C-alpha cells in the first residue's frame, strides 16, 4: 500500500484550531521526514520539518509518536509542524491582510533522515481559514471611523469587542475575525496609515476611539450595555486609556501593553497626555544591524506625578493583562505588576495578570509563527522583540481561550 497522509479535519480548518496529522502505509519502523510549507500573501516561504519513525504497524500518528532530534523540534508535539513554521527570509513577519482567503499548507513525507530530503513518499494540501461559515465581514466608514466589523452567524445580538493593533500603519483583521468565529461582534479598528487617516500621526485624539465605542453600542446586533476592548502593544495602551476616560467600557484585555502613553501625545477634550520619554543610552547594540531596545522607555513609576501614566484607578472595567516575561520592547510584565500594585493599594480588585515565560513582545493567537526580531516602529532598526519558539506556542495556546473566557464572563 502506498503511504498516504490523513488529516483531521480533512481539507479545511480554522487557523487557531488543532489539526491532527497521521501517515499510513509506511514500512514497519520506517524512518521519514515530514515537512510543512506555507507561502504568505507576499509569496514568502515558511517551513518546518521533523524526523519520525513509524510504528511496528507502519503507522505514524503525531499525537502518539515523538519527533526525533534533528528537525525544527523534537518530542511529542502533535502541532509542532505548525507552531515551528519559520520564514526562509530572515526577520520576516507573517501577516494576514485578506482574512476572506485561506492560507494553504503543503505537507510532504520524505524517506529517510538525511540532511537533504529523500524520496517523496506522500503529499497533501490543507486550507487554514480565518472565517467560519456564516461570519459576515462588514467594512465600516461611519464618520471618521475606518474599520471592519465582523458579525457571527445569525440575527441575534452578540457581545461587542473593539480590537486595536499595535503602532503599525494599516488595518489588521485577523484577531477580530477569530473572535467573531467564537461568537463576538468584533470591530477591527485602524487608527493611522489607512485610507484617509493620518499616515504618520503627530498626535492621537481619544474622541476618535470614543466614536468607535458609540458606533458599537448603537449597532442593533451588539449586546450592551458596554463593550469589551482587546489591544496589543500600543493598542493595549489605547484600550487602557479608553477605560480610564470613557464610559461604557466593561472589560479590557491587553497583550504586552505599556500602562503609560508612548510614541505620540494623546489628546482628549482639553487634556493632553504626553508620551513617555525615551533614554537612548539604554539601547544596547547587539551588532551592526540589531539592537536590544529593552529599557528604551523611562520607568513611568519612578517619577511621582508622571503625566504619561494612565490613571487606571478611574477605570470601572475589568482588566486582564497578558504579558511575556521576555518582552524586550516594553517591560510589559513590570508595567502590569506595578500598575496592579497601585490599584490594589487603592482598594481596587478589578484586575488579573497572565504572565508567560519565554514569550516576547509579539503575541498573536495560536499557531502564528514566532516573530522574535523585527523592525522597531520608532527607531526604525532591527530590534530584538524576545521570545522562544516552544514557550511562545504554549503561551498562545493557553492565552487564547483565557481571553475568550474573560470576555464571555464580563460581557
Determine the Cα–Cα distance for residues 57 and 65; give it in Å rounded to an integer: 13
Residue 354 contacts residue 320 (beta carbons within 8 Å):
yes
Determine the Cα–Cα distance for residues 144 and 246; give it in Å rounded to an integer: 18
Domain definitions of the chain by residue range: 4-129, 136-410
Percent of the chain with pLDDT over 70: 100
The pLDDT score that the predictor gives to residue 295 is: 85
Q: Per CATH, the architecture of 4-129 is what?
A: Sandwich (2.60)
Q: Hey, what's the cell of 112?
A: 529517510
Task: Give the pLDDT band (50/70/90) at residue 287.
Answer: confident
Residue 246 contacts residue 208 (beta carbons within 8 Å):
no
The pLDDT score that the predictor gives to residue 225 is: 95
The pLDDT score that the predictor gives to residue 111 is: 97
The pLDDT score that the predictor gives to residue 280 is: 82
For 195, the 3-state DSSP assignment is coil
- Tell me which residue of 13, 30, 32, 9 sits closest to 21, measured CA to CA: 9
The pLDDT score that the predictor gives to residue 379 is: 83
The pLDDT score that the predictor gives to residue 378 is: 82
Task: Give the pLDDT band (50/70/90) at residue 286.
Answer: confident
The tens digit of pLDDT for each residue in 376-391 reads: 888 888 999 999 999 9
For the chain, state the CA radius of gyration.
Answer: 23
Task: Give the pLDDT band (50/70/90) at residue 306.
Answer: confident
Q: What is the pTM of this model?
A: 0.96
The tens digit of pLDDT for each residue in 340-370 reads: 999 999 999 999 999 999 999 999 999 999 9
The pLDDT score that the predictor gives to residue 28 is: 97
Q: What is the mean pLDDT of the chain?
A: 95
Is the pLDDT confidence value at 288 over 80? Answer: no
- Tell me which residue of 130, 149, 38, 152 sits closest to 85, measured CA to CA: 38
The pLDDT score that the predictor gives to residue 267 is: 97
The pLDDT score that the predictor gives to residue 353 is: 98
How buried is 57 (Cβ within 10 angstroms: 0-12 exposed, 13-18 middle, 19+ buried)? exposed
Residue 220 contacts residue 287 (beta carbons within 8 Å):
no
Catalytic residues: 233, 327, 361
Task: Give the pLDDT band (50/70/90) at residue 27.
Answer: very high
User: What is the pLDDT averaged over residues 221-247?
Assistant: 97
- Tell me which residue of 157, 160, 378 sits closest to 279, measured CA to CA: 378
Beta strands 120-129; 103-111: pairing state: antiparallel
Phi then psi for residue 337, to 5 deg, are -65, -45
Beta strands 204-205; 185-189: pairing state: unpaired
- Tell me which residue of 47, 63, 55, 54 sits closest to 8, measured CA to CA: 63
The pLDDT score that the predictor gives to residue 304 is: 67
Task: Give the pLDDT band (50/70/90) at residue 237.
Answer: very high
The tens digit of pLDDT for each residue in 49-77 reads: 999 999 999 999 999 999 999 999 999 99
Burial 27-47 (b: 16+ CB within 10 A, else e): eeebbbbbbbbbebeeeeebb
The DSSP secondary structure of 69-105, one letter per residue, reads TTSS--BS-TTHHHHT-EESSTTPPP--S-TTS-EEE
Task: Give the pLDDT band (50/70/90) at residue 105.
Answer: very high
CATH dotted code for 136-410 = 3.40.50.1820
Residue 150 contacts residue 172 (beta carbons within 8 Å):
no
Cβ contacts of residue 380 below 8 Å, gap of 6+? none
Domains 4-129 and 136-410 in one fold: no
Sheet with 86-87, side-by-side order of all strands: 12-14, 120-129, 103-111, 31-39, 45-53, 86-87
Give the rounded distance of the alpha carbon of 13 from its chain centre.
19
The pLDDT score that the predictor gives to residue 255 is: 98
Q: Quick count: other Cβ atoms within 10 Å of Cβ 172?
A: 22
Amino acid at each position: 500500500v502506498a503511504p498516504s497522509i490523513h488529516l483531521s479535519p480533512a481539507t479545511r480548518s480554522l487557523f487557531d484550531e488543532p489539526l491532527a496529522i497521521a501517515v499510513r502505509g509506511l514500512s514497519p519502523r520506517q524512518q521519514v521526514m515530514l515537512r510543512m510549507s506555507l507561502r504568505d500573501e507576499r509569496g514568502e516561504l515558511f517551513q518546518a520539518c521533523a524526523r519520525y519513525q513509524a510504528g511496528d504497524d507502519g503507522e505514524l500518528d503525531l499525537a502518539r509518536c515523538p519527533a526525533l532530534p534533528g528537525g525544527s523540534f523534537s518530542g511529542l508535539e502533535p502541532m509542532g509542524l505548525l507552531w515551528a513554521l519559520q520564514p526562509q527570509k530572515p526577520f520576516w513577519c507573517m501577516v494576514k491582510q485578506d482574512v476572506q482567503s485561506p492560507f494553504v499548507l503543503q505537507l510532504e513525507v520524505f524517506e529517510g533522515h538525511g540532511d537533504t530530503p529523500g524520496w517523496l513518499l506522500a503529499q497533501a494540501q490543507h486550507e487554514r481559514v480565518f472565517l467560519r461559515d456564516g461570519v459576515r465581514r462588514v467594512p465600516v466608514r461611519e464618520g471618521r471611523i475606518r474599520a471592519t466589523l465582523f458579525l457571527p452567524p445569525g440575527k441575534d445580538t452578540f457581545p461587542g469587542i473593539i480590537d486595536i493593533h499595535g503602532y503599525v500603519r494599516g488595518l489588521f483583521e485577523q484577531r477580530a475575525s477569530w473572535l467573531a468565529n467564537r461568537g463576538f461582534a468584533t470591530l477591527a479598528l485602524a487608527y493611522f496609515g489607512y485610507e484617509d487617516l493620518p499616515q504618520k500621526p503627530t498626535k492621537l485624539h481619544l474622541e476618535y476611539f470614543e466614536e468607535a465605542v458609540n458606533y458599537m453600542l448603537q449597532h442593533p446586533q451588539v449586546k450592551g450595555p458596554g463593550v469589551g476592548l482587546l489591544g496589543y502593544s500600543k493598542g493595549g495602551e489605547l484600550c487602557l486609556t479608553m477605560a480610564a476616560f470613557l464610559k461604557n467600557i466593561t472589560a479590557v484585555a491587553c497583550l504586552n501593553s505599556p500602562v503609560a502613553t508612548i510614541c505620540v501625545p494623546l489628546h482628549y477634550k482639553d487634556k493632553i497626555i504626553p508620551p513617555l520619554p525615551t533614554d537612548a543610552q539604554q539601547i544596547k547594540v547587539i551588532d551592526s544591524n540589531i539592537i536590544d531596545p529593552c529599557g528604551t522607555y523611562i520607568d513611568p513609576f519612578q517619577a511621582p506625578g508622571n503625566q504619561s501614566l494612565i490613571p487606571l484607578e478611574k477605570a470601572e472595567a475589568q482588566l486582564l493583562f497578558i504579558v511575556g516575561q521576555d518582552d524586550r520592547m516594553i517591560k510589559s510584565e513590570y508595567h502590569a505588576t506595578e500598575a496592579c500594585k497601585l490599584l490594589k493599594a487603592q482598594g481596587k480588585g478589578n484586575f488579573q495578570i497572565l504572565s508567560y515565560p519565554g514569550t516576547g513582545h509579539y503575541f498573536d493567537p495560536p499557531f502564528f509563527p514566532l516573530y522574535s526580531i523585527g523592525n522597531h516602529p520608532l527607531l526604525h532598526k532591527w530590534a530584538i522583540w524576545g521570545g522562544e519558539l516552544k514557550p511562545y506556542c504554549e503561551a498562545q495556546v493557553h492565552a487564547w481561550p483565557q481571553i475568550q473566557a474573560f470576555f464571555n464572563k464580563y460581557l
